[in-house]
């Protein structure tokens, strides 16, 4: 490899640890979000849910636009996670593929296996976290939009 290729290879290897840490953080966030979602669903089912949106609406001079902005802010991290983590999974898959291919040229089965384990584990965890956050995002968005519609109907009635 020439000097530029060596530098690019070293730079990509440097990104593997931060990407793996971000995937791990996303997985933790996904399970925390899922736990909050399960609790909220259970409270809604039992009729004991106290909506944060209703509490926000009780403030003075809150328009529908303000409520929509509040909803977007509340769902923002779920959306970012569900959309960006699959890309991080792809990055975490591709970085170890270079060393795995080099190990293949040397007939180093151990090197191939070590790199492929990292690659496939990272993408699996990334996809699991993205799936969980996408599910929570989708249902929670519907719940919040239903509450927003009720708010708009109350405004129309007065």
CA-wise closest residue to 23 among 102, 113, 95, 71:
95
Sorted by where each begins, the domain ranges of the chain are: 3-157
Query: pLDDT tens digits for 17-43?
Result: 999 999 999 999 999 999 999 999 999
Query: pLDDT tens digits for 32-76?
Result: 999 999 999 999 999 999 988 888 887 767 888 888 999 999 999
CA-wise closest residue to 141 among 42, 26, 53:
53
Name the pTM for this structure. 0.88
């Amino acid at each position: 490899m020439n000097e530029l290729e060596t530098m690019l290879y070293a730079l990509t290897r440097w990104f593997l640890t931060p990407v793996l840490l971000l995937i791990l953080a996303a997985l933790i966030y996904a399970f925390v979000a899922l736990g909050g979602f399960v609790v909220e669903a259970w409270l809604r089912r039992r009729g004991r849910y106290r909506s944060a949106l209703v509490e926000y609406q009780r403030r003075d001079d809150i328009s529908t636009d303000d409520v929509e902005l509040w909803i977007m802010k509340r769902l923002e991290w779920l959306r970012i996670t569900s959309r960006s983590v699959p890309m991080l999974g792809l990055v975490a898959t591709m970085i170890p593929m270079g060393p795995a291919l080099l190990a293949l040229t040397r007939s180093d089965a151990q090197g191939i296996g070590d790199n492929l384990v990292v690659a496939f584990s990272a993408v699996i965890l990334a996809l699991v976290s993205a799936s969980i956050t996408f599910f929570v995002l989708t249902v929670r968005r519907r719940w919040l939009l239903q509450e927003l519609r009720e708010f708009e109907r109350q405004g129309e009635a007065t």
